[in-house]
């Protein structure tokens, strides 16, 4: 089967940098993606890593190490609006087109 | 235009009833999913369809029956609703890219199902 682990909660102050880690176990791994979900909203795509290394998109960056089955999402210059849940998700085969989500990390940004 | 639309947004019903949730995507994607998000916000995959063929059924009770009349639509019918079915159900779609998998999924607004 597949499993993904993330911290359940992270708290940081406005303007700070925060890193949300994700470790995964899966077979037929394609890549790791990240999603943001505000309370009452739908998950929205942030980034995807298919290869090792860092992908940067504005204030958000995502990193993948395939050999370590590990990735992280880095949020810089935190803003209050970044308070949300963040999910890592694994795209893998093993029976078909599968997109499996981690348990989610609740990020709280404080003044 | 809404990329992935699902209806209804809210659904309140009594135990034992049968209900359906509809989902449509206009992105031309070949893969569609149903996810269940419980009160702890865990996004659990229920079904995955590829070109209207069922690919994944994640040990979901057979009271849940997805139907895909074409690759742009994936509906979810639930029979004999139980209290534990109360959750938010999300439809999503993505395009499978050879060698890359499903890189980006687009989600519908969600259907908040409350069984009383």
Q: Do A99 and B109 touch (CB under 8 A)?
A: no
Instruction: Report how far residue B24's alpha carbon sits from residue B64's, in angstroms, rounded to the nearest whole number.
Output: 18
The pLDDT score that the predictor gives to residue B65 is 93
Q: What is the mean pLDDT of residues B31-58?
A: 88
Nearest chain A CA: its distance from B87 CA (Å): 12
Mean pLDDT taken over chain A:
93
B41 contacts chain A (CB < 8 A): yes
Confidence check: pLDDT of A37 > 70 = yes
Q: What is the mean pLDDT of residues B63-81?
A: 95
Q: Do A93 and B35 touch (CB under 8 A)?
A: no
A42 contacts chain B (CB < 8 A): yes
Instruction: Report how far residue A52's alpha carbon sits from residue A69's, in angstroms, rounded to the nearest whole number.
Output: 10
Confidence check: pLDDT of B2 > 80 = no
Instruction: Report how far residue A88's alpha carbon sits from residue A6's, in angstroms, rounded to the nearest whole number.
Output: 8
B23 contacts B76 by C-beta, under 8 angstroms? yes
């Amino acid at each position: 089967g597949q499993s993904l682990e993330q911290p359940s909660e992270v708290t940081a102050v406005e303007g700070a940098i925060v890193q949300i880690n994700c470790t995964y176990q899966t077979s037929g791994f394609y890549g790791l993606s990240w999603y943001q979900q505000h309370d009452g909203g739908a998950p929205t795509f942030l980034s995807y890593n298919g290869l090792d290394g860092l992908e940067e998109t504005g204030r958000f960056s995502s990193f993948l190490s395939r050999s370590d089955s590990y990735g992280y999402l880095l949020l810089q210059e935190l803003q209050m609006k970044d308070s949300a849940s963040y999910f890592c998700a694994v795209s893998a085969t093993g029976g078909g087109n599968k997109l499996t989500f981690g348990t989610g990390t609740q990020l709280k940004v404080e003044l | 235009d809404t990329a992935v639309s699902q209806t209804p947004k809210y659904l309140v019903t009594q135990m034992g009833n049968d209900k359906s949730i509809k989902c449509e995507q206009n992105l031309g994607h070949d893969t569609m999913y149903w996810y269940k998000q419980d009160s702890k916000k865990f996004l659990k995959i229920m079904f995955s369809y590829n070109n209207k063929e069922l690919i994944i059924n994640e040990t979901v009770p057979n009271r849940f029956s997805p139907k895909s009349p074409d690759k742009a639509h994936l509906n979810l019918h639930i029979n004999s609703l139980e209290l534990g079915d109360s959750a938010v159900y999300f439809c999503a779609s993505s395009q499978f890219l050879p060698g890359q998998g499903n890189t980006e999924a687009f989600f519908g607004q969600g259907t908040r199902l409350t069984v009383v």
